[in-house]
Amino acid sequence: MSHPLHGLGALLYLCVLIFVGLRKARGVRTQEDFSLAGRGLGPGILCGTLLATWIGTGSIFGNAEETLRVGPAAFILPVAGAAGILALYALAGRVRSSGAITVQDILEQRFGPAARVLGTLTLLLAYTIIVSYQYRAGAAVVGYLLPDVAAGFLLPLVAAFVIVYTALAGMQSVARTDLVNGILMTVGILVALAVALSAAGGVGEVLAQSAAATTKGPETSAYSLGDILSVLLPSFLLLLGDANMHQRFFSARSAAAARRSALGMFCGVLLLELAIIALALCGAALIQAGRMPAPDNPGHVIVHMAFTQIDGAPLLPLPLGALLAATVLAVIVSTADSYLLAPATALVRDILQRFLRPDLAEIELVRASRLTVVILGLCALGLAYLSDRFFGVALFAYTLYGAGITPALLAALFWRRATPAAAVASMVLGVVVALGWKYGGWGDLLAEALAARAGGAAWNGWDDVAAFIESLHAVVPAALASSGALVLGSLAGGRRPRG
Q: How far is CA 164 from CA 34, 152, 155, 324, 338, in A?
A: 14, 20, 14, 24, 13
% of the chain residues with pLDDT over 90: 21
Q: Are 473 and 402 in contact (CB under 8 A)?
A: no
Q: Are 59 and 394 in contact (CB under 8 A)?
A: no
Q: How far is CA 131 from CA 154, 195, 273, in A?
A: 15, 31, 20
Helix (H, G, I), strand (E, B) or coil at 405: coil
CA 480 – CA 472 distance, rounded (Å)? 12
- Long-range pairs, 307-316, Cβ under 8 A, ≥24: 307/1, 307/2, 307/6, 307/144, 308/1, 309/1, 310/199, 310/286, 314/3, 315/195, 315/196, 315/199, 315/286, 316/192, 316/195, 316/196
Q: Please report the pLDDT score of residue 489 as a whole number.
A: 94
pTM: 0.80
Low-confidence ranges of the chain (pLDDT < 50): 217-221, 458, 497-499
Q: In terms of Cα–Cα distance, which of 296, 314, 313 is closest to 6?
A: 314
Q: Please report the pLDDT score of residue 23 as a whole number.
A: 66
Q: Please report the pLDDT score of residue 427 as a whole number.
A: 96
The pLDDT tens digits of the residues spanning 103-112 come to 888 899 999 9
Within 8 A by CB and 6+ apart from 28, the residues are 34, 169, 170, 172, 366
- Quickly count: other Cβ atoms within 10 Å of residue 123's Cβ: 28
CA 126 – CA 132 distance, rounded (Å)? 10
- Structural domains present in the chain: 4-389 (1.20.1730.10), 415-499 (no CATH)
- Supply the DSSP string of 333-398, one letter for each residue: HHHHHHHHHHHHHHIIIIIIIIII-TT--HHHHHHHHHHHHHHHHHHHHHHHTS---SHHHHHHHH
CA 310 – CA 10 distance, rounded (Å)? 23
Q: Please report the pLDDT score of residue 429 as a whole number.
A: 95
Distance between start and end Cα atoms, the chain: 61
130 backbone φψ class: left, alpha, beta (φ>0; ψ -120 to 50): alpha
CA 456 – CA 443 distance, rounded (Å)? 21
The pLDDT tens digits of the residues spanning 124-156 come to 999 999 899 889 888 888 887 777 777 788 899
Q: Please report the pLDDT score of residue 276 as a whole number.
A: 92
CA 425 – CA 222 distance, rounded (Å)? 37
CA 295 – CA 423 distance, rounded (Å)? 45
**Exposed e or buried b per residue across 41-79, where buried means at least 16 C-beta atoms within 10 angstroms of its C-beta:** bebebbbbbbbbbbbbbbbbbbbbbbbbbbbbbbebbbb
